[in-house]
Amino acid sequence: MNPNDSDVLIVGGGLMGTTAAFFLRRRGHAVTLLERGLVGQQASGTNFGNVRRQGRFLPQLPLANRSREIWGQLPELIGHDVEFLPTGHIRVCYSEAQADRLETYARDARPYGLELQMLRGEAMRAKFPYLGPEIRAVSWAPRDGHANPRLAAPAFARAAVREGARIVEDTEVVRVEKTAGRFVATCADGTTYRAAVLLVTAGAWGNLLSEQFGEPVPMSVHGPQMAVTEPVPYCLVPVVGASSDSIEEIFYFRQVKRGNIVMGGCARGPAYPDARRAYVLPGSPLKQFVQLERIIPALRRLSIIRVWSGIEGYMADDVPIMGPSAKVDGLFYAFGFCGHGFQLGPGVGDTMAELIDTGRTSVPIDPFLIGRFA
Amino acid sequence: MTPRFRRLAETGRPAVRFSIDGQAAQALQGDTLLVAMLCNTGAVRCSEFGGERRAGFCLMGACQDCGVWTPQGERLRACTTYVSEGLEVLTAMPALL
Amino acid sequence: MSTARVAIVGAGPAGVRCAEVLVAAGLRPVLVDEGMRDGGQIYRRQPDGFGRGYEALYGTEAERARALHETFDRLRARLDYRPQTLVWNAADSELHLVRDGLSHGLPYDAVVVCSGATDRLMPVPGWQRAGCYSLGAAQIALKAQACAIGEKVVFLGTGPLLYLVAAQYAKAGARVAAVVDTARRGDGIRALPQLGARPDVLRKGLALIAYLRRAGVAMFKGATPVAIEGADAAGVSGLRFRDASGRERLVACDAVAMGYHLRAETQLADLLRCEFRFDAESRQWLPRIDPWGRASVAGVYLAGDGARLQGADGAEASGALAGLAVLRDLGVPADQGQADRLLRVLARMERFRVGIARAFPWPWRQAADLPDTTLVCRCEGITARELRRVVTDEGAREANRAKAFSRVGMGRCQGRYCGLAGAEIVAAASQSDIRQVGRLRAQAPVKPLPATTRQAAHEPQ
């Protein structure tokens, strides 16, 4: 067999592609993954690192639940814990109206197996005494947590390679076509790779490939606005996120074991997919400082030492693209996760592998089908 | 701990009293906080990850290795801050939460 | 008089001479400086209340220092001078300044970045111990605070600063235990042609060495550092090294001042999206400039050690020349004769810089030989072993990738003190050329920014 031929060709080496490569190998498929840069460099490596089910679009919860199970098994599965900590996650809010919405969500999420606890008043202050006086209510997800996005896709990639996957970095795919029942990807240096199945996990560039197969999708790109503090003694256990209608108040932060506090939100920044650059607006950290002090006043004494951004693909309906092509047999997609894909990564890879292997998925993915844009 | 730095000149300046971890200390007006501390003791903080004491490194505000704290939780970069009368400094951050 | 808005970042020799040129042409530039006083590093002004004279402080450079300070004092009323102000970010023709917890935007038509340099460091086992300082730090302690960094100081590294600070310490009455230079005698001899570009500086350098010899200071050339001995609590107790003949020696001391030339402060140039080039002589990445100091981005000019690494005299000349470039590009008449003279001066400075780099080579090969247990990243406590591991086991062969996997460069100093040596370790571990490893990409803030910082409501007057 030509070494450039495989059962499944994956284009895009972020978290979705590398997890799919891993799980496909476990199901015995020959896999080749092509990545333009280095695995995990784009949205996968620059996001906030939330491993969060709370707050998701409800039909996404089965997928998120499945993913959460895998997060807890990473050391046995891929030999690396990706610094996953099941610290719990709290959503805080500033108004009674928003608290009611959180309460409604908690009620509606319960049938999906997501147990959330609402806390207000005395009970809230007793459990989370460090919260600022403006906080009205907390929705607490004890089994959510966080992990290290810089490490996740590379760890899955190494595990996939150990299982026998072929991962080719620094390889730009310029064209993909289906001829004589097989997909042929042509790279910038002229090399071609072929497979009966193609999985597009190209993130913010996914629509450039879906377009080539007559399935354009309405995607926009934005840069997350991230910052991190110096390390301080570990003391903040849960991930904290503010729930609000106003983007300036949508702010989230988490403390890693080494002590740095990673934070993000308050704005979306400019991203340039052609140049593969994205920027943090100078005003963003200043806005974040305001929100940080509102939520946990004691954290005002910290300093940030770095900001960064990345390139995230957002679908117009804020729902990702996942599942089979509506037009081409053997073509599958998993991209455009709207800035909320990190927690889903292991579940997406596992589900796409199941779909490609068996033709079915044990978690529903109907809401994510690309055919909705036809 | 024995003082680390040695004064070679300019000792005729007015005295400044301050404290390090609650202990009274003396410096001279015009000393940076780092110099003030190191004329009283041998280190200004403990490394987060290695446990060894640190006593500054670059003295020009570049290495960020001389950060100390006030009891109120304010962060001071010792090499670019002047010591002042009554200043209280802590060599470890007061508990955050 | 031009109404163009010109900002100068840095009130050291480059920034002050740039300001002088602009003010003479009728402009009123904004001069932003992080420090409490003008002067930069080498010509750092002592605080109020200190009495030492210029000769005591600046030795052979007393007249240059005095002239620079007097120039600033004369210019001050005609400048929009912003001391104790950090430029923490820059984007879209706007600088972002912070002072007293308030961040202001400063739009500009032209910016001259004179951000200077820090010492360049090569890790040594034990360099994280209390009592280990950069050469620049040892000099600042003496010059600006009249202190020695210890009772008994060893000077380690290479370059003219090594001998200058050691001699300053000896003259000021401090105990200099040894001067340990990694450069070999032959290196200096081979570089004589380039060093001859500035015979006066060469003479001063030789005089410093002679002074140290007369003072009975033990001096070693061709040395290889082995370890800085000491203890976690008490700090440094000695320097262990191999001399030129390979014999291992231990010099007892309570302080080590170390450094290997300079590392340009290029964060603002990077944030302004200037192109960089690899400078083979100094083995580091510098922003690309034309002979006048124009960067690759319109409206951005770079001068001084932050772009040229030529020292204080080169900084003065390049600062003035960058000022002339700004004027010319704004269509303001500028003195071509002065520009020609400065271009000639800078050509000599450049030849001399090459000579210095060759006479006192940055011992980059030491990086490959560092024991695995050596700390590379002081801020994050990351060892050479860990950095090598991400190269060999995780395929990180580029500086930012290695940083993402190992955390080297993720600490408070933002890669200032680990970046260059870290790149050498990555190159050695991946058996690739240093150029392929690339450089750490700068991100805002240029220095840590407190979470108490707020956007100012309006521009300060």
pLDDT at C267: 98
DSSP string, A113-136: T---EEEEHHHHHHH-TTS-TT--
Q: Which residue of A lies nearest to C98 if distances are taken between CA atoms?
A: A286
Distance CA A264, CA A229 (A): 11
| Helix residue ranges per DSSP H, B19-89 | 33-38
A298–B48 CB contact, under 8 Å: no
Set out the domains of chain C in order of their start, with CATH numbers.
Answer: 6-118+263-356 (3.50.50.60), 121-260 (3.50.50.60), 365-437 (1.10.10.1100)
Stretch A137-153: mean pLDDT: 98
Q: Are C50 and C25 in contact (CB under 8 A)?
A: no
B47–C128 CB contact, under 8 Å: yes
Chains linked to C by 3 or more Cβ pairs within 8 Å: A, B
Put simply, whether B72 touches C (Cβ < 8 Å) is no
A280–C404 CB contact, under 8 Å: no
| Fold equal for A5-49+150-218+315-373 and A87-143+221-314 | no
Given the DSSP bridges, would you call strands A5-11 and A192-200 parallel, antiparallel or unpaired? parallel
User: Which H or E element spans position C368?
Assistant: helix C366-369
CA distance, residue B7 to nearest chain A CA (Å): 33
A232–B96 CB contact, under 8 Å: yes
DSSP string, C107-164: E-SEEEE---EEE-----TTTTSTTEEEHHHHHHHHHHH-EESSSEEEEEEESHHHHH
CA distance, residue B72 to nearest chain A CA (Å): 9
The CATH superfamily assigned to A87-143+221-314 is D-Amino Acid Oxidase, subunit A, domain 2 (3.30.9.10)
C91 chain-A contacts, CB cut-off 8 A: 279, 281-282
Compute the CA torsion angle A283, A289, A290, A296 (nearest 10 deg).
Answer: 160
User: Is B73 within the bounds of a domain?
Assistant: yes
Q: Are C170 and C155 in contact (CB under 8 A)?
A: no
Q: What average pLDDT is seen over chain A?
A: 97
Indicate the domain borders of chain A.
Answer: 5-49+150-218+315-373, 87-143+221-314
Question: What's the Cα-to-Cα distance from A60 to each of A109, A112, A344, C441, rounded to whole Å?
Answer: 11, 10, 9, 37
Nearest Cα neighbor of C446 from C413, C408, C418, C422 is C413
A235–B48 CB contact, under 8 Å: no
Q: Are A285 and C89 in contact (CB under 8 A)?
A: no
Stretch A251-277: mean pLDDT: 97
Chains linked to A by 3 or more Cβ pairs within 8 Å: B, C
Q: Are C204 and C195 in contact (CB under 8 A)?
A: no
User: Is B7 within the bounds of a domain?
Assistant: no
A282 chain-C contacts, CB cut-off 8 A: 89, 91, 94, 96, 103, 105, 444
B9 chain-C contacts, CB cut-off 8 A: 52, 56, 146, 172
Distance CA C412, CA B16 (A): 30
pLDDT at C431: 98
Which residues touch C70 (CB under 8 Å, ≥6 apart)? Answer: none
Instruction: Tell me the β-bridge partners of C285.
Output: C278
Distance CA C437, CA C415 (A): 14
Put simply, whether B95 touches C (Cβ < 8 Å) is no
Of C96, C398, C451, the CB nearest to A304: C451
User: Is B10 within the bounds of a domain?
Assistant: no
User: Is B26 within the bounds of a domain?
Assistant: yes
Given the DSSP bridges, would you call strands C30-32 and C6-9 parallel, antiparallel or unpaired? parallel
C128 chain-B contacts, CB cut-off 8 A: 47, 50, 52, 54
Question: What's the Cα-to-Cα distance from C234 to each of B43, C109, C230, C241, C253, rounded to whole Å?
Answer: 8, 52, 7, 21, 12
| Helix residue ranges per DSSP H, chain A | 15-26, 43-46, 61-71, 74-78, 96-109, 121-127, 149-162, 206-212, 283-295, 345-358
pLDDT at C459: 66
Token code pair at residue A315: 């679908």
Place A2 in a pLDDT band, splitting at 50, 70 and 90: confident
Of B8, B30, B52, the CB nearest to C47: B30
Q: Which residue of C lies nearest to A260 if distances are taken between CA atoms?
A: C411
Q: Look up residue A249 and give its DSSP letter.
A: G
**With pLDDT > 70 as the criterion, what percentage of chain A qualifies?**
100
Q: Are A87 and A239 in contact (CB under 8 A)?
A: yes
Of B53, B75, B80, the CB nearest to C233: B53
C454–A307 CB contact, under 8 Å: no
Cα dihedral across residues A105, A107, A111, A116: positive or negative: positive
Distance CA B92, CA B80 (A): 18
Q: Are A124 and A76 in contact (CB under 8 A)?
A: no
CA distance, residue B69 to nearest chain A CA (Å): 10
Q: Which residue of B lies nearest to A236 if distances are taken between CA atoms?
A: B97
Place B1 in a pLDDT band, splitting at 50, 70 and 90: confident
ipTM over 0.95: yes
Q: Look up residue A243 and give its DSSP letter.
A: -
DSSP string, C295-316: -SSTTEEE-GGGTT--HHHHHH
CA distance, residue B95 to nearest chain C CA (Å): 17
**Total domain count, chain B:** 1
Instruction: Tell me the β-bridge partners of C459.
Output: none
Put simply, whether C445 touches A (Cβ < 8 Å) is yes
Put simply, whether B43 touches C (Cβ < 8 Å) is yes
C134–B58 CB contact, under 8 Å: yes
Sequential pLDDT tens for chain C (461 residues): 578 999 999 999 999 999 999 999 999 999 999 999 999 999 999 999 999 999 999 999 999 999 999 999 999 999 999 999 999 999 999 999 999 999 999 999 999 999 999 999 999 999 999 999 999 999 999 999 999 999 999 999 999 999 999 999 999 999 999 999 999 999 998 999 999 999 999 999 999 999 999 999 999 999 999 999 999 999 999 999 999 999 999 999 999 999 999 999 999 999 999 999 999 999 999 999 999 999 999 999 999 999 999 999 999 999 999 999 999 999 998 889 999 999 999 999 999 999 999 999 999 999 999 999 999 999 999 999 999 999 999 999 999 999 999 999 999 999 999 999 999 999 999 999 999 999 999 999 999 999 999 999 876 65
Cα dihedral across residues A337, A340, A346, A348: positive or negative: negative
CA distance, residue C213 to nearest chain B CA (Å): 22
Nearest Cα neighbor of C438 from C400, C382, C411 is C400
A230–C91 CB contact, under 8 Å: no
Which residues touch C364 (CB under 8 Å, ≥6 apart)? Answer: C122, C283, C424, C434
User: Which H or E element spans position A204?
Assistant: none
C379 chain-B contacts, CB cut-off 8 A: 64-65
Nearest 5°: the CA angle C185, C186, C187 is 90
Phi and psi based region of residue C112 (left: phi greater than 0; alpha: psi -120 to 50; beta: remaining) = beta
Chains linked to B by 3 or more Cβ pairs within 8 Å: A, C
Of B48, B49, B73, the CB nearest to A301: B73
Whichever domain contains B89, its CATH number is 3.10.20.440
Q: Are A96 and A246 in contact (CB under 8 A)?
A: no
Q: Which of C95, C446, C449 to mutate to test the interface with A (most CBs of A within 10 A)?
A: C449
B97–A303 CB contact, under 8 Å: no
CA distance, residue A282 to nearest chain C CA (Å): 7
Q: Which residue of C lies nearest to B38 if distances are taken between CA atoms?
A: C149
Count of A–B CB contacts within 8 Å?
Answer: 32
Given the DSSP bridges, would you call strands A219-222 and A31-34 parallel, antiparallel or unpaired? unpaired
Q: What average pLDDT is seen over chain B?
A: 97
Helices vs strands, H then E, count in chain B: 1, 8
A290 chain-C contacts, CB cut-off 8 A: 454
CA distance, residue A264 to nearest chain C CA (Å): 13
CA distance, residue A106 to nearest chain B CA (Å): 28
Question: What's the Cα-to-Cα distance from C19 to each of A27, C10, C183, C290, C315, rounded to whole Å?
Answer: 69, 10, 38, 20, 13
Put simply, whether B17 touches C (Cβ < 8 Å) is no
Stretch A17-45: mean pLDDT: 98
Distance CA B82, CA B76 (A): 10
Nearest 5°: the CA angle C333, C274, C327 is 5
Distance CA C82, CA C72 (A): 13
Q: Look up residue B32 and give its DSSP letter.
A: B
Token code pair at residue B13: 């300046």
Summarised one tens digit per residue, pLDDT across range B55-86 is: 999 999 999 999 999 999 999 999 999 999 99
CA distance, residue A366 to nearest chain C CA (Å): 36
Put simply, whether C91 touches A (Cβ < 8 Å) is yes
Put simply, whether C451 touches A (Cβ < 8 Å) is yes
Q: How many Å is the maximal CA-CA distance in chain C?
A: 66
CA distance, residue B42 to nearest chain C CA (Å): 7
* Residue pointed to by tokens 């030129």: C244
Q: What is the CA radius of gyration of chain B?
A: 13
Q: How far is CA B59 from the centre of its chain?
A: 12
Distance CA A196, CA A210 (A): 17
User: Is B4 within the bounds of a domain?
Assistant: no
A235–B95 CB contact, under 8 Å: yes
Nearest 5°: the CA angle A55, A279, A337 is 35
Give pTM, 2 decimals. 0.97
User: Is B41 within the bounds of a domain?
Assistant: yes
CATH number of A5-49+150-218+315-373: 3.50.50.60
Domain span holding position B92:
15-96
Q: Is the peptide bond before C445 cis (omega within 30 degrees of 0)?
A: yes
Put simply, whether C93 touches A (Cβ < 8 Å) is no
User: Is B67 within the bounds of a domain?
Assistant: yes
Cα dihedral across residues C307, C313, C318, C323: positive or negative: positive
User: Is B8 within the bounds of a domain?
Assistant: no
